[in-house]
């Protein structure tokens, strides 16, 4: 995946540009594998400009209501972020995200290229990054909604191409303190993990509804982190102690990534 680091002032989002295509065959179904669906996910990461921060908070508070009537949209989540896009309990005043699931790639493309929602974000953000994804593995649910696999499992080999992951959970209030004792070491390890190209902490609500989205150079790098000490310890504790009332763990093939996040430009 092509990327370059720039000063944020040099990466203000403008009109839609050609999306970066992650690789041939990323969206096709294997003739010998299970039947795959057409579902496509759009992950939007935004750093709202200072003059528009009340607008940004208003969108988060409205949640999914902001996306009613979007053609082909199955469900969507408006998300806040940790400070500077990180993972701590301190919220960011400007960074936020959108997780949207579309029935088809054509519907996702219309949303990215033509929707008033994306036009509003482009006009009001200092940074904007849009990722178009197909799920190849998903376990669990988000507000009762499950993801439909729509990409073949990528090959676990060096140079096999980028992959992405989403981990989200609704935390039992009585288990929140125990969860947040375990979370910081795993989150710190993620930020420094070899092969991690992008990582952001997101959430629907402070402390209790949390998510992590990350993009990796290849499957081997992502799996190495997943099996590492702090992260593995946190996952085992979550199952052993029953931290979550609902959770989702999903992996994706990035079909396209375009824009800027934390000073890094993705795509052309």
| 222 found inside a domain | yes
Domain count, the chain: 1
Across the chain, mean pLDDT equals: 80
CA–CA gap between residue 36 and residue 29 (Å, rounded): 6
CATH number where 92 lies: 3.30.70.100
Residues 47-60: tens digit of each pLDDT = 999 999 999 999 88
State percent of the chain over pLDDT 70.
Answer: 75
| 20 found inside a domain | no
| 174 found inside a domain | yes
Residues 60-89: tens digit of each pLDDT = 888 878 888 899 999 999 998 876 656 666
| 234 found inside a domain | yes
CA–CA gap between residue 259 and residue 265 (Å, rounded): 6
Higher pLDDT, 208 or 128: 128
CA–CA gap between residue 243 and residue 234 (Å, rounded): 10
- Does this model's pTM top 0.85? My answer is no
| 30 found inside a domain | no
Residues 188-230: tens digit of each pLDDT = 678 788 999 999 989 887 667 888 899 999 999 998 888 876 6
Task: Tell me which residue range forms the domain holding 84.
Answer: 3-10+37-266
| 119 found inside a domain | yes
DSSP state of 145: B
Q: Which residue has the tokens 């709202």?
A: 48
- By the 8 A CB rule, do 129 and 20 touch? no
Q: What is the pLDDT of residue 227?
A: 81
| 51 found inside a domain | yes
Strand pairing of 40-48 and 163-171?
unpaired
φ/ψ of residue 185, rounded to 5: -60, -40
Please say if the pLDDT value at position 24 is more than 50.
Answer: no
**b/e for 58-87, b at 16 or more Cβ within 10 A?**
ebbeeeeebbeebebbeebbbbbbbeebbb
| 54 found inside a domain | yes
Q: What is the pLDDT of residue 84?
A: 64
């Amino acid at each position: 995946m092509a990327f370059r680091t720039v000063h944020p002032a040099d990466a203000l989002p403008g009109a839609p540009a050609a999306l970066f295509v992650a690789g041939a065959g990323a969206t096709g179904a294997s003739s010998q594998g299970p039947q795959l669906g057409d579902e496509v996910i759009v992950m939007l990461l935004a750093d709202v400009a200072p003059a528009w921060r009340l607008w940004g908070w208003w969108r988060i508070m409205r949640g999914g209501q902001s996306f009613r009537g979007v053609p082909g949209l199955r469900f969507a989540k408006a998300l806040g972020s940790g400070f500077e896009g990180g993972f701590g309990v301190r919220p960011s005043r400007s960074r936020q995200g959108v997780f949207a699931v579309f029935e088809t790639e054509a519907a996702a493309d219309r949303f990215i290229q033509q929707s008033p929602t994306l036009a509003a974000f482009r006009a009001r953000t200092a940074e904007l990054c849009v990722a178009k994804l197909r799920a190849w593995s998903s376990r669990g649910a988000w507000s009762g909604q499950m993801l439909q696999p729509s990409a073949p499992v990528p090959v676990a080999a060096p140079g096999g191409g980028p992959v992405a992951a989403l981990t989200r959970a609704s935390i039992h209030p009585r288990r929140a303190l125990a969860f947040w004792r375990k979370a910081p070491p795993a989150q710190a390890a993620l930020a420094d993990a070899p092969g991690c190209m992008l990582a952001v902490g997101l959430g629907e609500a402070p402390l209790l509804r949390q998510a992590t989205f990350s993009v990796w150079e290849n499957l081997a790098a992502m799996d190495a982190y997943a099996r590492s000490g702090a992260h593995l310890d946190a996952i085992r504790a979550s199952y052993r102690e029953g931290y979550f009332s609902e959770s989702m763990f999903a992996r994706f093939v990035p079909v396209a990534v375009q824009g800027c996040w934390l000073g890094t430009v993705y795509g052309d």
